[in-house]
């Protein structure tokens, strides 16, 4: 109810503050007998961790995950899986300046007003550090989906006004390999270079910039998603919008679909050797809220990071005018580190609906 849980059958609950003892996650409902590849989970966390490159925050966290329960002799047992990531590089005094001052476009003011108290160190619970817990849980969800052949890949498709062209790499591993060749995580090498240069310039100017992540889900079977409120894209949308800094979500034809005619937009059904499929995919792989066997496709828009290295006008907790200048260690552009988070959240939605789909028919 307090909004720290996600999913119904494959359900996670995250906890922890940016500068507390540790952050972590409980995964409840993961089926028993799943092989837990801890190295894979750690690898996913490594893609999100701070200090990766010149275009990410310099905060140093090894983000080493530890499993406390629910796994026995390398396999899940059906009991809750607790994962914990200790906080290490907690320079909390970096944040003493914002105890009583509200940083613009941050959550300081709203948390303080809602709860009457807040852990102001590094954003506390509102810090994107919480997403490390999601990545750990999402990695487990990916392992579950991999047993069914379902693969999820995302990459940075735009930074500011720099857009990547569509990338056609069918194989999920190849796609990821290509994307991981550059520090901005764009699967188009030429655009990647342009993006990196741009972000670096923004960083040097003490500024930040937004961007977009595109995500593809391959080999998704027909039937995932529930009609009415829990449509597959509605749950994906909520998942993405719950990631820090996200301001928009679209799937399939998305916003541009609103400009089209029905005669252009309809996806004609064909049938062939691989069974029923559609000629085009404006539906983004989802019809009536349920996956139709085509690849899922969606895009997520991230606003620029709010912490900039400029002086900014603001108010303090007494409502007096104040000034604040950016301190601490922050990302000039959040999207390169957001790629594994988008994938993780997508995996959590898919794993949940894959389980939910097991009980809809009498068998």
Q: Which residues are annotated as a binding site for NADP(+)?
A: 48, 54
Query: Residue 105 interacts with its own copies (CB under 8 A)?
Result: yes
**82: contact with its own copies by CB under 8 A:** yes
150 binds its own copies (CB under 8 A): no
Please give the size of the binding site for its own copies, defined by CB under 8 A. Answer: 150
Among 301, 339, 341, 346, binds its own copies (CB under 8 A): 301
Tell me the chain's radius of gyration from C-alpha atoms. 21
Interacting residues of 199 by C-beta distance below 8 A, sequence separation 6+: 55, 159, 184, 209, 332, 333
The DSSP code sequence of 75-86 is: EE-SS-EEEEEE
Q: How many whole angstroms separate alpha carbon 297 and alpha carbon 177?
A: 19
If binding is defined by CB under 8 A, does position 228 make contact with its own copies?
yes
Site for its own copies in 242-271 (CB under 8 A): 242, 247-255, 257-271
Binding flag, residue 13, its own copies (CB under 8 A)? yes
3 binds its own copies (CB under 8 A): yes
* Rounded Cα gap, residues 256 and 335, in angstroms: 22
Annotated binding site for FMN: 125-127, 244-245, 288, 303-307, 329
Separation between Cα atoms, residue 299 and residue 251, nearest integer Å:
6
Closest approach, Cβ 42 to its own copies, in A, equals 17
Q: How far is the CB of 123 from its own copies (least distance, A)?
A: 8
Is 90 a binding residue for its own copies by CB under 8 A? The answer is no
Is 172 among the residues that bind its own copies (CB under 8 A)?
Answer: no
Dist CA 296 CA 197 (whole Å): 31
Of the candidates 51, 223, 295, 328, which one interacts with its own copies according to CB under 8 A?
Answer: 223
| Segment interacting with its own copies, rule: CB under 8 A, options 37-45, 48-56, 227-235, 336-344 | 227-235
Question: For its own copies, which is the closer residue by CB, 9 or 169?
Answer: 9
CB 296 within 8 A of CB 217: yes
Tokens for 96, please give them: 């003493």
- Among 38, 40, 109, 329, contact with its own copies (rule: CB under 8 A): 109
Helix (H, G, I), strand (E, B) or coil at 280: coil
Cα gap 141→173, rounded to integer Å: 17
Alpha carbon distance 213, 310 (integer Å): 27
């Amino acid at each position: 109810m307090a909004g720290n849980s996600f999913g119904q059958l494959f359900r996670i609950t995250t906890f922890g503050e940016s500068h507390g003892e540790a952050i972590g996650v409980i995964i409840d409902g993961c089926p028993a007998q799943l092989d837990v590849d801890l190295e894979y989970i750690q690898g996913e966390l490594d893609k999100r961790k701070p200090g990766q490159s010149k275009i990410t925050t310099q905060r140093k966290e090894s983000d080493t995950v530890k499993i406390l329960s629910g796994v026995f002799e390398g396999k899940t047992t059906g009991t809750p899986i607790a994962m914990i990531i200790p906080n290490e590089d907690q320079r909390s005094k970096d944040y003493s300046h914002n105890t009583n001052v509200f940083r613009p476009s941050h959550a300081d003011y709203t948390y303080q007003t809602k709860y009457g108290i807040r852990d102001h160190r590094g954003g506390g619970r509102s810090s994107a550090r919480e997403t490390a817990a999601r990545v750990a849980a999402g990695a487990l969800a990916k392992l579950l989906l991999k047993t069914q052949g379902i693969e999820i890949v995302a990459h940075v498709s735009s930074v500011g006004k720099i857009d990547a062209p569509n990338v056609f790499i069918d194989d999920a591993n190849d796609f990821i390999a290509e994307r991981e060749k550059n520090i901005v995580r764009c699967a188009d090498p030429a655009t990647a270079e342009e993006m990196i240069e741009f972000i670096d310039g923004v960083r040097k100017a003490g500024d930040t910039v937004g961007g977009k992540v595109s995500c593809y889900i391959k080999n998704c079977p027909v039937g995932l998603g529930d009609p009415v409120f829990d449509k597959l894209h509605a749950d994906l949308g909520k998942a993405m919008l719950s990631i820090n800094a996200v301001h928009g979500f679209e799937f399939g034809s998305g916003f541009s679909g609103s400009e089209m005619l029905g005669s252009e937009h309809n996806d004609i059904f064909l049938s062939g050797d691989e069974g029923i499929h559609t000629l085009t995919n404006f539906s983004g792989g989802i019809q009536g809220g349920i996956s139709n066997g085509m690849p899922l496709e969606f895009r997520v828009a991230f606003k620029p990071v709010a912490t900039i290295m400029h002086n900014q006008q603001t108010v303090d907790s007494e409502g007096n005018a104040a000034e604040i200048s950016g301190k601490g260690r922050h990302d000039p552009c959040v999207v390169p580190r957001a790629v594994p988070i988008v994938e993780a959240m997508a995996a959590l939605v898919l794993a949940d609906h894959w389980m939910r789909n097991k009980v809809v028919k009498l068998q």
